């Protein structure tokens, strides 16, 4: 090394030392490793960039996103580079305007209003356009593609993370060190495949195709002109039933264990009458090359009624497991790994706690049964995904009010509509808020409470969650039996209240993260639940709760409208009959209720053609 270079380095070191002494901040850049280049990782990095740009004298930050696929976007891509890939014709289930961001509106990206629902590819391009709008070099600067994180350790002595990565193409290992680590690998990282059931079906002689809902490589060949069985009643089943009709399926059967039919039950009209919804049943085996055996599902005992009569479906060519996914945190060492399993930790409900809800008059005061911390948001060891033991370790999730595994295992009649949970209608907004909060914590603007305070705050939040009947009945078995006996109006009251609870959750995060949008007024959630019309604005004398801001009212309207228009009204039924049942709920006509939260622009009145032809 030359003398000149040494003098430059020495001078730089002295300047750095003086800066650190005068400001109390390190002059070395803050190094952050992000695991995953999907929306979670992109939104976190975008938020960090905005914070750094707004605080010119802040410490420099270097964010490195490790993505095992060839392209950014995570599950919104369909390049097939990862184990789980999304099919090209996926459209949003929730309203498009619930996925719009104030710092980059649809008008700015598309130059026009969007439809009520949006193509996967369009939404992906919007997501990528947002992060590169003011930073064209975003991916050159931050993204390391085709690189898998295989191991992460925290070195206590050095107070930094040791991250081992593998080049997906060459297998070459690399080791780097970081100050903070953000797990943003998504909640759909690994397929959830019931292997024992699959083995039983094969042992029964079934010779057809068996695939997971994410295995779309040969989907048209798997379903065109065939009879197929979808296992599961979530939105993957709804998507694939519609996609199957689009590519020319002969007939679709959907087996759903919940007696109300799960999420797919909200589809009151399926195009061309090609879908048979079989509620309250589970597949238990096979009886030949193309015969599938099903039994009734006992919701009281949570198991198949094998002693009862069996149901035989014949001439089944393909079985598609719409059984969801699970998180992959295997790359994290034991002291960093977060247990995201449902019911991992029991929650001790105070003995003197009472629900004090209007529905108590119907159900009676029910003593709590076994209750656990049942969401990734309410966790006694984490403050909104930040480890209380090591605040340098963070997890970006969508703040699920109900994990999908609970939604599909604990569905009671009428109430199992995960469309009423915040992460279904607003998954990208929920991730955005979480990423914004974590970004503020990562750069030192937001202080993480102590371990004791995190536990205390988590317990208070659990009691708030349990004060909502819909929430409570999913996790309290004793209350569930009372709740399922409620009359229809009472259940609707609880459902609408659940929407407001979800909105309150999102608004709380907005407030903590100082996010530039609010859904609730400062008075907070102050609605006394006594009659349905308080929460159902479509009723003749309906009204919107005063606790919502104007933005919150638009939000609430779109959430409800996004659910209810699936049950076709007379106008839509006439239109469907006129088109010989060629319409789907995505062919919504007249999107007056679907309005931008940021610009006030209304959605396009209709698609350019029938959805099945696009």
Per mean pLDDT, which range of 5-19, 62-76, 297-311, 360-374 is the poorest? 5-19
Alpha helices, H only, 157-234: 195-203, 219-223
Q: Would you kindly state where each structural domain of the chain is located, as residue ranges?
A: 3-183, 193-321, 338-564
- Contacts of residue 116, defined as CB under 8 A and 6 or more positions apart, other chains included, come to 95, 96, 586, 588, 591, 594, 603, 604
Which position has the higher pLDDT, 179 or 579?
179
Task: Give which of 515, 588, 528, 594 is closest to 559, Cα–Cα.
Answer: 594
pLDDT class for 408, splitting at 50, 70, 90?
Answer: very low
Task: Give which of 376, 345, 49, 50 is closest to 186, Cα–Cα.
Answer: 376
Which position has the higher pLDDT, 414 or 196?
196
DSSP calls for 276-331: EEEETEEEEEESSTT-EEEEEEETTTTEE-TTS--EEE-S--EEEE---EE---TT
CA atoms within 13 A on the CB side of 239: 23
- In whole angstroms, give the CA distance from residue 464 to residue 462: 5
Task: Give which of 243, 294, 290 is closest to 271, Cα–Cα.
Answer: 243
Mean pLDDT value across residues 503-518: 92
352: which 2 tokens? 């003197």
pLDDT class for 410, splitting at 50, 70, 90?
Answer: very low
Alpha helices, H only, 209-250: 219-223, 235-247
- In whole angstroms, give the CA distance from residue 529 to residue 260: 25
Unique residue bearing structure tokens 């919104």: 76
480 CA to centre of own chain: 24
Burial 156-185 (b: 16+ CB within 10 A, else e): eeeebbbbebbebeeeeeeeeebbbbbbbb
Position 591 scores a pLDDT of 66
Mean pLDDT value across residues 299-324: 91
Q: Kindly report the number of other CB atoms within 10 A of residue 112's CB atom.
A: 9
Mean pLDDT value across residues 364-372: 79
Position 417 scores a pLDDT of 33
Any bridge partners for residue 152, and if so which?
Answer: 163, 332
Strands 227-231 and 251-256: parallel
Position 568 scores a pLDDT of 61
Position 159 scores a pLDDT of 96
Unique residue bearing structure tokens 């039983």: 200
Task: Give which of 133, 66, 122 is closest to 96, Cα–Cα.
Answer: 122
Position 412 scores a pLDDT of 29
Which position has the higher pLDDT, 268 or 510?
510
Residue 8 pLDDT more than 60?
A: no
Residue 409 pLDDT more than 50?
A: no
DSSP calls for 30-62: EEEEEE--SHHHHHHHHHHHHHHHH-TTSPPEE
Dihedral angle of Cα 449, 450, 453, 458, to the nearest 10 degrees: 70
Any bridge partners for residue 151, and if so which?
Answer: 164
Q: How big is the chain, counted in residues?
A: 614
Alpha helices, H only, 36-188: 39-54, 106-110, 120-132, 138-142
Per mean pLDDT, which range of 15-24, 31-40, 125-134, 197-206 is the poorest? 15-24
What is the domain class of 193-321 according to CATH? alpha beta
Strands 281-286 and 292-298: antiparallel
Strands 318-321 and 180-183: unpaired
Burial 305-323 (b: 16+ CB within 10 A, else e): beeeeeeebeebbbbbbbb
pLDDT class for 189, splitting at 50, 70, 90?
Answer: confident
- Average pLDDT of the chain is 83
Tens of pLDDT, residue by residue over 540-575, are 666 788 889 999 999 988 888 877 777 665 556 666
Which position has the higher pLDDT, 421 or 160?
160
- In whole angstroms, give the CA distance from residue 225 to residue 481: 43
- In whole angstroms, give the CA distance from residue 463 to residue 461: 5
Percent above pLDDT 70 for the chain = 82
User: Whole-structure pTM over 0.85, yes or no?
Assistant: yes
- In whole angstroms, give the CA distance from residue 550 to residue 314: 53
Of 77-91, 139-153, 509-523, which has the strongest mean pLDDT? 139-153
Unique residue bearing structure tokens 């100050």: 179
Check if the beta carbon of residue 493 is closer than 8 Å to that of residue 529.
Answer: yes
Check if the beta carbon of residue 252 is closer than 8 Å to that of residue 239.
Answer: no
Please give the CATH superfamily to which domain 3-183 belongs.
Answer: FAD/NAD(P)-binding domain (3.50.50.60)
Checking phi first, is residue 5 left (phi over 0); if not, alpha (psi -120 to 50) or beta? alpha
DSSP 174: E
Position 539 scores a pLDDT of 60
Tens of pLDDT, residue by residue over 111-131, are 999 999 999 889 999 999 999
């Amino acid at each position: 090394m030359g003398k000149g270079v040494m003098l430059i380095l020495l001078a730089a070191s002295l300047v750095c030392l003086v800066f650190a002494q005068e400001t109390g901040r390190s002059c070395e850049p803050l190094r952050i490793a992000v695991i995953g280049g999907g929306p979670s990782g992109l939104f976190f990095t975008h938020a960090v960039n905005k914070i750094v740009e707004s605080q010119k004298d802040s410490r420099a930050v270097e964010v490195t996103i490790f993505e095992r696929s060839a392209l950014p976007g995570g599950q919104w891509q369909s390049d097939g580079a990862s184990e789980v890939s999304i099919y090209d014709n996926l459209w949003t289930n929730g309203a498009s305007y619930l996925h719009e961001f104030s710092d980059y509106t649809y008008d700015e990206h598309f130059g026009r209003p969007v439809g009520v629902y949006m193509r996967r590819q369009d939404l992906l391009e919007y997501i990528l356009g947002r992060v590169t709008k003011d930073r064209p070099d975003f991916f050159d600067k931050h993204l390391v593609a085709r690189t898998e994180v295989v191991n992460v350790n925290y070195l206590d002595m050095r107070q930094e993370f040791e991250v081992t990565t593998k080049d997906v193409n060459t297998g070459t290992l690399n080791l780097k060190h970081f100050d903070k680590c953000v797990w943003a690998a998504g909640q759909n990282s690994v397929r959830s495949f019931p292997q024992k059931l699959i083995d039983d079906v094969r042992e029964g002689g079934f010779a057809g195709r068996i695939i997971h809902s994410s295995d779309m490589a040969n989907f048209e060949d798997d379903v065109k002109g065939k009879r197929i069985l979808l296992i599961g009643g979530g939105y993957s089943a709804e998507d694939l039933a519609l996609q199957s009709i689009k590519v020319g399926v002969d007939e679709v059967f959907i087996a759903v264990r919940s007696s109300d039919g799960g999420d797919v039950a909200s589809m009151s009209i399926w195009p061309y009458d090609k879908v048979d919804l079989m509620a309250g049943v589970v597949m238990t085996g096979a009886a030949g090359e193309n015969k599938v055996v099903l039994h009734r599902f006992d919701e009281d005992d949570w198991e198949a009624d094998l002693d009862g009569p069996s149901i035989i479906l014949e001439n089944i060519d393909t079985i598609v497991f719409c059984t969801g996914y699970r998180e992959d945190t295997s790359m994290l060492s034991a002291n960093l790994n977060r247990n995201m399993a449902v019911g991992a930790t029991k929650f001790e409900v105070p003995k003197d706690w009472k629900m004090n809800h209007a529905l108590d008059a119907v159900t009676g005061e029910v003593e709590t049964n076994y209750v656990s911390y049942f969401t990734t948001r309410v966790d006694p060891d984490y403050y909104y995904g930040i480890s209380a033991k090591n605040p340098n370790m963070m997890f970006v999730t969508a703040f699920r009010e109900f994990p999908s595994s609970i939604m599909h295992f604990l569905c009671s009649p009428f109430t199992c509509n995960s469309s009423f949970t915040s992460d279904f209608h607003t998954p990208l907004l929920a991730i955005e808020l979480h990423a914004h909060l974590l970004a503020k914590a990562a750069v030192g603007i937001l202080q993480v409470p102590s371990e004791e305070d995190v536990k205390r705050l988590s317990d208070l939040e659990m009691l708030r969650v349990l004060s909502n009947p819909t929430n409570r009945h999913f996790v309290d078995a004793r209350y569930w039996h009372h709740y399922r006996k409620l009359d229809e109006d009472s259940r609707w009251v609880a459902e609408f209240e659940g929407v407001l609870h979800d909105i309150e959750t999102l608004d709380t995060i907005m407030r903590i993260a100082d996010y530039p949008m609010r859904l609730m007024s400062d008075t907070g959630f102050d609605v006394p639940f006594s009659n349905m019309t308080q929460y159902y604005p479509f009723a003749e004398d309906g009204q919107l709760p005063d606790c919502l801001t104007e933005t919150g009212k638009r939000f609430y309207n779109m959430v409800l409208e996004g659910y209810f228009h699936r049950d076709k009204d007379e106008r839509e039924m006439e239109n469907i009959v006129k088109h010989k049942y060629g319409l789907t709920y995505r062919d919504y006509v007249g999107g007056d209720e679907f309005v931008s939260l940021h610009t006030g622009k209304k959605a396009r009145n209709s698609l350019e053609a029938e959805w099945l032809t696009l």
